[in-house]
Amino acid sequence: MSLLDFARGPALEAAMAVFVFGVCWRMLSLLLLPWARDKSVARAGAPPALLGATRSFVRHLWPPRPLAPGSLFVTVNGYVFHVGLAVIVFGLAQHILFLRGLVGVHWPNLPSGVVSAAAVVTLASLLAALGRRLTNPVLKLISTFNDYFSWFVTVLPVATGLVAVSHLWAPYETLLAVHLLSVALLLIWFPFGKLMHAFLVFLTRTETGIFYSRRGAEI
Amino acid sequence: MTSTIDVDAAAKTFLKHTQEQLVSYLEACVHCGSCAEACHFYVASGDPKHTPAYKLFPIAKAYRHQKFPLSWLGLAPRLAESDLKLWEELLFDTCTMCGRCTTACPMGIDIASIVGGARQAFVAAGLGPSDLLAAADSSRDHGSPLGLTAQKLRERVEWLADEHDVPIALDKAKADVLLTVSSIETMKYPESVVAMAKMLNHAGVDWTLSSKGYEATNFGYLSGKADVAKLMVERIVAAAESVGAKTVVVPECGHAFGVLRWAGANMLGRPLPFSVVHISEYMAQLKRDGRLKLKPMAESVTYHDPCQISRRGGATQDARYLLEGFAQDFREMTPTGDANWCCGGGGGVQAIGRAADLRYKVFKIKMDQVERTGAKTMVSSCSNCRLTMDESKAHWKWEGGLASLVEIVADHLIEESKPAA
């Protein structure tokens, strides 16, 4: 079995199994914890829970400037690499082909040049995020192994993918195998590290929204 | 404070608070640091340790050690005595549970909720600021954190009623409304009690104080003593039930309102048998009903939003409605309302002596805010904020005026020939 066969065969399959079961297990272990039932009486005229949850989700898309005047970089840079990652994952023809084989649906791809440009911007954005984490006194203090390793497993597929499509330094098959192995690493780490925020954000923003809205408070 | 730190007791108490919501909060933090600049303690001190997300580290550590799936790889170490020693100050002295960080957090994590539970764990371990814990013990043993026993309440009410010639109802057999007091105002700002009585009498409200349950502040909750917190709620419930009150009015104290209004039923395990309203909400309702007649006030004023009444209480607009048309020169601070800066003394921090210097630094944010408005006086509807600001004002020899919302309302009532309650 070649390295490429291993990468796109057992390695990726095992990684996807860890990802799916890991995410389901993490979410279920959270959702099956006891739920605090609020016995206080909601404020008269408080919006329904669904509306409070939705409002909170939308409002947290952009931090209010009076409360977080210095968060502009974090917010804009965060959007840059999140959108960049989405463009790469869902815009590249080879990724769409792979996802079609996996889930059976497909959509038109973006030109490879656009995706490559997005990858370069994403890499720059992720490097800027790391730079800030390493130099900002607050971020230096609150950063843990989880933060740095999650950054590493996110950067790796972007960097290896960019190298692979550029056919640099090594045969394409080897570069593709390394890229697929880096994706496998990302999928395996995903349920256990802070990348889980991609799922948890739907719980935290909405639960806080319900908590505040039943008080008649806006958030 | 005891000399032995019981780390296991802290870890167990932390884990008691692992309901779905709190665990989601602990797991979801992406360590982006956006909460730092929302926190008045970080802004005032510039110390990264005061970042709200950092304050959650020990509870996250205790939880992960027990539950994290990869803890066997050494990725989730045990909670240590050194963690508790280091974080005691951060969780008690440098968090007023004001919720500003919650609004700023892109994940919407409610850090204030976690701090409340975390304090209980520190107390279980034998930690916690001795003066804050003493306030809780005094509440349990004497009825109030400042030693306002039922007998002292009777004496003070009698004295205030005589001194100000205002009827103050105490221990009426039946009343629609049970008024509660904060011992801060009763002992340090007694005119506030007189003002509440004057205003309620003016509006023709059937009200009373009760020596069975009068203290609205809940230092049990603020200090992490859950048993005392519940006891304080039970006393008010007993008093309200004994007079048949349908409404309990909480005086000018933000946390007293927040705890009784939103946490009281959860402590009891059943809905409260009455509605709970803050005095600013109640006065706004009386005004809407046409029962408060006010003379115009010419002096320039600004309004300080107590966090638990505005941002976390949903009553932001009530104080403004009251001031509308009455305060002729009302000026908003920037930021204001739900984004307003905390006084620095909420959440029990006011009672912690060693936190005084930090509170003073925080107050400079407020001084700057007020000065930018040019208003002569800052009005608030929280006696805890007022006390914090009064002390800081003296420290900085600041010349700005401080006033209470209920007192300025009482001072501007157009007295008609309404019968006293």
Distance between CA B164 and CA B145 in Å, rounded?
A: 26
Element (H, E) at B377: strand B377-380
Nearest CA in chain B to A199: B28
Q: What pLDDT is attached to residue A37?
A: 85
Q: Is residue B366 predicted with pLDDT exceeding 60? A: yes
Distance between CA A15 and CA B198 in Å, rounded?
A: 71
A77 touches chain B (CB under 8 A): no
Confidence category of residue A77, pLDDT binned at 50, 70, 90: very high
A64 to B339: CB separation less than 8 angstroms, yes or no? yes
User: Are B1 and B136 contacting, i.e. CB atoms less than 8 angstroms apart?
Assistant: no
Note whether residue B13 is domain-resident. yes
If asked whether residues B101 and B205 sit together in one domain, one would say no
B32 to A78: CB separation less than 8 angstroms, yes or no? yes
Note whether residue B421 is domain-resident. no
Q: What pLDDT is attached to residue B417?
A: 59
Tally the domains of chain A: 1
B18 touches chain A (CB under 8 A): yes
Pairing state between β B327-330 and B377-380: unpaired
CATH number of the domain residue B374 falls in? 3.40.50
If asked whether residues B146 and B178 sit together in one domain, one would say yes
Distance between CA A84 and CA A86 in Å, rounded?
A: 5
Helix (H, G, I), strand (E, B) or coil at A143: coil
Residues of chain B in contact with residue A63, where contact means CB-CB under 8 angstroms, are: 34, 103-106
If asked whether residues B185 and B332 sit together in one domain, one would say no
Q: Up-side HSE of residue B253: CA atoms within 13 Å toward CB?
A: 32
Check whether the bond before A48 is cis (ω within 30° of 0).
no
If asked whether residues B244 and B135 sit together in one domain, one would say yes
If asked whether residues B273 and B154 sit together in one domain, one would say yes
Note whether residue A53 is domain-resident. no
Note whether residue A140 is domain-resident. yes
A208 to B109: CB separation less than 8 angstroms, yes or no? yes
A39 to B266: CB separation less than 8 angstroms, yes or no? yes
> Please, which residues have CB within 8 angstroms of residue B152's CB and are 6 or more apart in sequence?
none
Q: pLDDT tens digits for A15-45? A: 999 999 999 999 998 898 888 889 999 999 9
CA B78 → CA A204, B8, B82, B368, B405, distances in Å? Answer: 26, 10, 11, 44, 49
Note whether residue B272 is domain-resident. yes
User: Are A196 and A23 contacting, i.e. CB atoms less than 8 angstroms apart?
Assistant: yes
Residue whose C-alpha is closest to residue B191's, from B148, B151, B159: B159
Q: Is residue B169 predicted with pLDDT exceeding 80? A: yes
For chain A, helix, strand, coil in percent to 5 are: 75, 0, 25
CATH number of the domain residue A7 falls in? 1.20.950.20
The neighbour count for residue A174, using CB atoms within 10 Å, is 15
Distance between CA B269 and CA B332 in Å, rounded?
A: 40
Domain that holds residue A119: 3-20+70-213
Which amino acid is residue B251, in one-letter code?
A: P
B77 to chain A, closest Cα gap in Å: 12
Element (H, E) at B132: helix B130-142
B73 touches chain A (CB under 8 A): no
User: Are B381 and B408 contacting, i.e. CB atoms less than 8 angstroms apart?
Assistant: no
Average pLDDT of span B319-325? 95
> Please, which residues have CB within 8 angstroms of residue A100's CB and are 6 or more apart in sequence?
A106
Output the average pLDDT for chain A. Answer: 93
A215 to B313: CB separation less than 8 angstroms, yes or no? yes
Average pLDDT of span A166-194? 92
Q: What pLDDT is attached to residue A168?
A: 81
| Six token digits for residue B290 | 């046409």
A216 touches chain B (CB under 8 A): yes
Pairing state between β B327-330 and B207-208: unpaired
CATH number of the domain residue B65 falls in? 1.10.1060
If asked whether residues B247 and B327 sit together in one domain, one would say no
Full-model pTM: 0.93
Q: What pLDDT is attached to residue B288?
A: 97
Which amino acid is residue B402, in one-letter code?
A: L
| Domain end residue (candidates: B253, B286, B319) | B286
User: Are B311 and B104 contacting, i.e. CB atoms less than 8 angstroms apart?
Assistant: no
> Please, which residues have CB within 8 angstroms of residue B265's CB and are 6 or more apart in sequence?
A38, A39, A40, A41, B271, B272
Q: What pLDDT is attached to residue B1?
A: 44
**Residue B303: beta bridge partners?**
B379
Q: What pLDDT is attached to residue A174?
A: 92
B305 to chain A, closest Cα gap in Å: 13
Which amino acid is residue A6, in one-letter code?
A: F
Query: Rounded to 5 degrees, what are φ and ψ at B250?
Result: -90, 135
Residue whose C-alpha is closest to residue B31's, from A148, A207, A154: A148
Instruction: Out of A164-178, B215-229, B373-387, pick the least confident.
Output: A164-178
Note whether residue B382 is domain-resident. yes
| Six token digits for residue A41 | 């009486």
| Domain end residue (candidates: B286, B309, B344) | B286
Residues of chain B in contact with residue A206, where contact means CB-CB under 8 angstroms, are: 108
Note whether residue A37 is domain-resident. no
Q: Is residue B44 predicted with pLDDT exceeding 60? A: yes
User: Are B249 and B146 contacting, i.e. CB atoms less than 8 angstroms apart?
Assistant: no
B28 to A200: CB separation less than 8 angstroms, yes or no? yes
Nearest CA in chain B to A209: B108
Q: What pLDDT is attached to residue B341?
A: 96
B74 touches chain A (CB under 8 A): no
Report how far apart the first and last C-alpha atoms of chain A are (Å, whole number).
55
A212 touches chain B (CB under 8 A): yes
Q: pLDDT tens digits for A114-144? A: 999 999 999 999 999 999 999 999 999 999 9
Note whether residue A29 is domain-resident. no
**Residue B208: beta bridge partners?**
B178
Domain that holds residue B170: 131-286
If asked whether residues B36 and B174 sit together in one domain, one would say no
If asked whether residues B115 and B35 sit together in one domain, one would say yes
If asked whether residues B202 and B258 sit together in one domain, one would say yes
Residue whose C-alpha is closest to residue A83's, from A119, A56, A110: A119
Note whether residue A182 is domain-resident. yes
Where is pLDDT greater, at B11 or B382?
A: B382
A43 touches chain B (CB under 8 A): yes
Q: Is residue B311 predicted with pLDDT exceeding 60? A: yes
Residue whose C-alpha is closest to residue B391's, from B368, B347, B358, B418: B358
Element (H, E) at B302: strand B297-304
Mutate to test the interface with B, among A43, A67, A136 (most CBs of B within 10 A): A67
Output the average pLDDT for chain B. Answer: 93
Note whether residue B352 is domain-resident. yes
Residue whose C-alpha is closest to residue B382's, from B331, B343, B354: B343
B231-238: long-range pairs with CB below 8 Å, 24+: B231/B139, B231/B140, B232/B139, B233/B259, B233/B260, B233/B264, B233/B267, B233/B268, B234/B268, B235/B143, B236/B178, B236/B180, B236/B260, B236/B264, B237/B213, B237/B264, B237/B268, B237/B272, B237/B273, B238/B212, B238/B213
If asked whether residues B69 and B118 sit together in one domain, one would say yes
If asked whether residues B304 and B321 sit together in one domain, one would say yes
User: Are B218 and B256 contacting, i.e. CB atoms less than 8 angstroms apart?
Assistant: yes
b/e per residue A2-36 (b: at least 16 CB within 10 A): eebeebbeebbeebeebbeebbeebbeebeebeee
Residues of chain B in contact with residue A26, where contact means CB-CB under 8 angstroms, are: 69
- Cβ-nearest to B108 among A30, A205, A218: A205
Q: pLDDT tens digits for B257-275? A: 999 999 999 999 999 999 9
Percent of chain B topping pLDDT 90: 84
Q: What pLDDT is attached to residue B64?
A: 82
Note whether residue A167 is domain-resident. yes
Note whether residue B101 is domain-resident. yes
Percent of chain B topping pLDDT 70: 97
Residue whose C-alpha is closest to residue A119's, from A154, A153, A72, A75: A154
For tokens 């056919």, name the residue: A167
A141 to B21: CB separation less than 8 angstroms, yes or no? no
3-state secondary structure A46-85: CCCHHHHHHHHHHHCCCCCCCCCCCCHHHHHHHHHHHHHH
A35 to B269: CB separation less than 8 angstroms, yes or no? no
Note whether residue B76 is domain-resident. yes
Note whether residue A63 is domain-resident. no
| Domain end residue (candidates: B105, B128, B151) | B128
Note whether residue A30 is domain-resident. no
Note whether residue B208 is domain-resident. yes
The burial of B145, by beta-carbon neighbours within 10 Å (0-12 exposed, 13-18 middle, 19 or more buried), is given as buried
| DSSP per position, B139-176 | HHHHSSTT---HHHHHHHHHHHHHHHT----BS-S--S
If asked whether residues B28 and B146 sit together in one domain, one would say no
Q: What pLDDT is attached to residue B2?
A: 45
A198 touches chain B (CB under 8 A): no
Tally the domains of chain B: 3
Distance between CA B386 and CA B392 in Å, rounded?
A: 10
b/e per residue A51-78 (b: at least 16 CB within 10 A): ebbbbbbebbeebbebbbebbeebbebb
b/e per residue B81-99 (b: at least 16 CB within 10 A): eebbeebbbbbbbbbbbbb
